[in-house]
């Protein structure tokens, strides 16, 4: 199962997200659920860089992806608006995959960013 954890600031902004594990839906290299979560995560990271102009910390490894942005208070208002839209879109995409395929394959969890 893939576990997606969304760590939110008190404002609701997703400051950090992780996706760990493998869904087990298909064979490695041909698993559409793993591919979907990976594609959404990598697109979010690239968009944070190219569209929001941020330099998030991140890692892309087999079975583990994580991304953490700077403190929202350190962002320009337009950067924050873009970053919030992007991270909310990541969350929505993962929740839609969970809804379509079930928690057996993808589990989305929320946590407080500390």
- Tokens coding 33: 């659920």
Residue 51's domain comprises 2-112
Tell me the mean pLDDT in the region 46-74.
98
Based on the structure, what is the number of domains in the chain?
A: 1
Contacts for 16 with CB less than 8 Å, ≥ 6 apart = 7, 66, 67, 68, 69, 113
Instruction: Enumerate the H helices of the chain as residue ranges.
Output: 32-50, 77-101
The three-state secondary structure class of 48 is: helix
The three-state secondary structure class of 55 is: coil
CATH code of the domain covering residue 30: 3.30.70.1490
Interval 15-52: pLDDT, tens: 999 999 999 999 988 999 999 999 999 999 999 999 99
């Amino acid at each position: 199962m893939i576990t997606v954890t969304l760590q939110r600031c008190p404002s609701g902004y997703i400051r950090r997200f992780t996706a760990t594990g493998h869904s087990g839906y298909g064979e490695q290299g041909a698993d559409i659920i793993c591919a979907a979560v990976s594609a959404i995560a990598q697109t979010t990271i690239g968009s944070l860089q190219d569209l929001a102009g941020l330099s998030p910390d991140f890692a892309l490894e087999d079975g583990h992806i994580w991304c953490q942005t700077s403190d929202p208070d350190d962002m320009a208002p337009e950067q924050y608006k873009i970053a919030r839209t992007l991270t909310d879109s990541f969350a929505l995409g993962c929740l839609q995959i969970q809804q379509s395929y079930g928690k057996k394959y993808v589990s989305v969890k929320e946590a407080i960013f500390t």
